[in-house]
Amino acid sequence: MSTNVMKKSSNPSYKRRLASLEGCQNDLKNELFLMFSAFHSALKNYQEEIVQTPPEARARGFEASLLNSKMIQSIQENFPINWKFGKYKRFTLRVNGYIILFKKFNSKGLPMNIKTKSVTAISQQLSIPLFDDYTFVAEPILFFGYSKDNFGIISNPKLVYIDENQVKWEITRDSISTSKTISIPKEEKVAMPKLRAEIVKKNVSNK
């Protein structure tokens, strides 16, 4: 159940529901790790396949297209009932009241897009329909993407919320909560070696 609530409207001039960092972390607490795992799986598959085509035989945009296809494949495998192709063949993941798009980020952390009315509206969280009808026009749009440096190194996957054409917040793999990790209390860590020592001492005295 989504923790962010705002009135839904099909009017494109209206803004989508506001997404907060804390709300998103709570709403997607079970899906975030899966998204990052899907990315690393996609990257592994990409690296295995890209070497099969020599650089001189690669068409323009080949690397980006291949990685995007591997990411789509990985998301489909990990979220089999949550993905959908929208208008203009735009691949989307819709989960727990959020719509997630997948893009490469530029040096400013913004998605690399050709400027169109649709792209501008998305970057401003306007409620234009992403599908063939007016469903889900109130749900905030997030971007999951990565960076690529001048040496072709792909890194820094993250989930980003953009509004007014600015990055408002982001979630990285390191920032995902590790609250499920169980650690041994300090008292038990000290007690265990002491217990073993007492057992050894007792065994020696009985000989």
Residue 161: per-residue pLDDT: 97
Residue 197: per-residue pLDDT: 45
Q: Radius of gyration of the chain from Cα atoms?
A: 23
Residue 105: per-residue pLDDT: 94
Structure tokens at 196: 């073993």
Residue 207: per-residue pLDDT: 53
Tens of pLDDT along the chain (207 residues) come to 555 544 444 444 589 999 999 999 999 999 999 999 999 999 999 999 999 999 999 999 999 999 999 999 999 999 999 999 988 889 999 999 999 999 999 988 899 887 788 888 889 898 888 877 677 788 999 999 999 988 889 999 999 999 999 999 999 999 885 434 333 333 333 333 444 444 444 554 555
Smallest CA-to-CA distance from 102 within 127, 138, 130, 75 is with: 75
Distances in whole angstroms, Cα of residue 81 to Cα of each of 71, 93, 97, 123, 166: 16, 9, 14, 26, 31
Structure tokens at 137: 């026009």
Residue 191: per-residue pLDDT: 35
DSSP code for 126: B
Residue 56: per-residue pLDDT: 95
Report the half-sphere exposure of 75 (CA within 13 A, side-chain side).
23
Residue 205: per-residue pLDDT: 53
Smallest CA-to-CA distance from 85 within 63, 67, 97, 68 is with: 68
Residue 187: per-residue pLDDT: 36
Residue 163: per-residue pLDDT: 94
SS3 169: strand
Burial of 113 (0-12, 13-18, 19+ CB in 10 A): middle
Residue 199: per-residue pLDDT: 45
Mapped to the 3 state alphabet, what secondary structure does 6-40 carry?
CCCCCCCCCECCCCCHHHHHHHCCCCHHHHHHHHH
How far apart (Å, rounded) are the C-alpha atoms in residues 100 and 160?
9
